Amino acid sequence: VLVVANPANTTALILKESAPFISEKNIRCLTRLDHNQALGHIAERLNLHVSDVKNAFIWGNHSSSQYPDANHATVNTTEGGPVRELVANDEWHAFKYVSIYVCIDRHKRKYKQREGCIYAYMYI
């Protein structure tokens, strides 16, 4: 089941609680506006067009707990490469682009989905 509404994660959670016969593994939601804003911040920082930024994600609801994730973002230009390397400024990434904590297994560098959590995914 795909939920497209704002706040997407909260609406998906309400669906999960209201329809227990639907497995939570089958519930996903989209938050396109927030994803577009995350792409826009990267593009502005690198002085590029938004369409040149790929593989950036956001996690969480449209709120102060949202996490924009540029760890796997790339730039699709002739000078392209990983956004983290092109920005080359961890302070910008940590304090201007990202301002909240996300649950990461720091040894494996993979996101953990905690039981009962519903995450938003964006696909370009």
- Residue 3: pLDDT band by 50, 70, 90 thresholds? confident
Residues designated catalytic: 62
CATH topology of domain 32-117: L-2-Hydroxyisocaproate Dehydrogenase; Chain A, domain 2 (3.90.110)
Name the nearest CA neighbour of 11 among 85, 103, 118: 118
Residue 105: the pLDDT is 42
Counting Cβ atoms within 10 Å, is residue 75 exposed (0-12), middle (13-18) or buried (19+)? Answer: buried
How confident is the model over 71-96, as pLDDT tens digits?
899 999 887 899 989 988 877 776 66
When the pLDDT of each residue in the chain is averaged and rounded to a whole number, the result is 76
Where in 56-107 does DSSP place strands (E)?
Answer: 57-59, 67-69, 74-75, 81-82, 104-105
Residue 94 neighbours by CB under 8 Å, 6+ apart: none
Q: Is the pLDDT of residue 45 over 80?
A: yes
Query: What letter does residue 89 receive in the DSSP assignment?
Result: -
Q: What is the pLDDT of residue 32?
A: 74
Tell me the domain boundaries of the chain: 1-30, 32-117
Looking at residue 75, its pLDDT comes to 94
Tell me the C-alpha distance between 78 and 70, whole Å. Answer: 19
